[in-house]
């Protein structure tokens, strides 16, 4: 290199010209591309403040919801129908039908056998006229026996349906009971008598209204028959 003052040749490592003594330059120490570390306790301008990353980071995604489980299969003893008004386990129609058949088998059918085999023969009188025989019956006594047996039926269904358990023999076998329409408590003897009275009245016109009454729980939302609605009763499962 040359001196800027006199133009003499100067070595690159010389700081002064050997001819004129003027300064010709100086060498700079090598620099590093890496910045010096900050002093202890100082914060780097590019450093993220504590807690800032957690505050600005997006919230974590919730875990995916599992698919809904299918309802478990209905176990034995689980009630299929529930009263929409009270949630009580309502007896199914077939349970009531079987209970009624049992009651007829153990009470009503033997009674009618007694009436037609024993009593009618007792009130029948045979007359003989000129070698011919004919029979007469005391209709008054037949009506008396009808009243007696009606009262027996009334007592059977009133005392058992209106009692604390609310169960006839057939209902005991099927595990159902007659309860107040609230689903709890007995209906009492008065309402039980009225309940049977409605059944008896419906049986008079050729049994057709009674058949419809017995079938009505099939389409009623509370599984009530007509005589249940009249007596404000509900037949429910108790086991």
- Ranges of each domain in the chain: 93-237
Determine the pLDDT at residue 73: 52
pLDDT of residue 76 exceeding 70? no
What mean pLDDT is reported for the chain? 79
According to DSSP, the residues that pair with 97 across neighbouring strands are none
pTM exceeds 0.85, yes or no = no
Distance between CA atoms of 195 and 211, rounded to whole angstroms? 16
For the chain, where are the E strands, in sequence order?
124-129, 132-137, 176-180, 233-237
Cα separation of 96 and 28, whole Å? 111
Q: Report how far apart, in Å, the C-alpha atoms of 19 and of each of 11, 22, 52, 150, 158 are.
A: 12, 8, 65, 154, 145
Q: Which of 79-93, 137-151, 178-192 has the highest mean pLDDT?
A: 178-192
Q: What is the DSSP letter of 68?
A: P
Average pLDDT over residues 205-231: 93
Closest residue by Cα to residue 168 from 185, 180, 156: 156
Q: What is the pLDDT of residue 238?
A: 92
- Ranges 70-84, 123-137, 154-168, most confident: 154-168
The phi, psi pair for 41, rounded to 5°, reads: 90, -15
Instruction: Evaluate if residue 52 carries a pLDDT over 60.
Output: no
* Confidence check: pLDDT of 31 > 60: no
3-state secondary structure of 213: helix
* pLDDT in the model for residue 188: 95
């Amino acid at each position: 290199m040359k001196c800027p003052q006199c133009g003499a040749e100067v070595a690159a490592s010389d700081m002064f010209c050997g001819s004129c003594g003027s300064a010709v330059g100086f060498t700079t120490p090598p620099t590093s591309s890496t910045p010096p570390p900050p002093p202890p306790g100082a914060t780097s301008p590019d450093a993220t403040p504590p807690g800032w990353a957690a505050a600005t980071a997006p919230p974590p995604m919730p875990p995916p919801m599992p698919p809904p489980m299918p309802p478990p299969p209905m176990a034995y003893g689980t009630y299929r129908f529930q009263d929409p008004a009270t949630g009580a386990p309502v007896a199914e129609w077939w349970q009531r039908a079987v209970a009624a058949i049992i009651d007829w088998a153990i009470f009503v059918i033997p009674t009618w056998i007694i009436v037609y085999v024993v009593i009618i023969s007792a009130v029948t009188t045979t007359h003989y006229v000129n070698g011919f025989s004919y029979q007469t019956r005391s209709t008054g006594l037949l009506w008396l026996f009808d009243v007696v047996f009606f009262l027996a039926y009334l007592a059977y269904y009133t005392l058992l349906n209106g009692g604390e358990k609310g169960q006839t023999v057939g209902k005991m076998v099927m595990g159902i009971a007659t309860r107040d329409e609230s689903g709890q408590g007995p209906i009492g003897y008065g309402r039980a008598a009225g309940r049977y009275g409605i059944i008896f009245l419906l049986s008079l016109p050729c049994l057709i209204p009674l058949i419809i009454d017995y079938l009505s729980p099939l389409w009623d939302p509370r599984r009530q028959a007509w005589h249940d609605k009249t007596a404000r009763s509900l037949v429910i499962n108790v086991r």
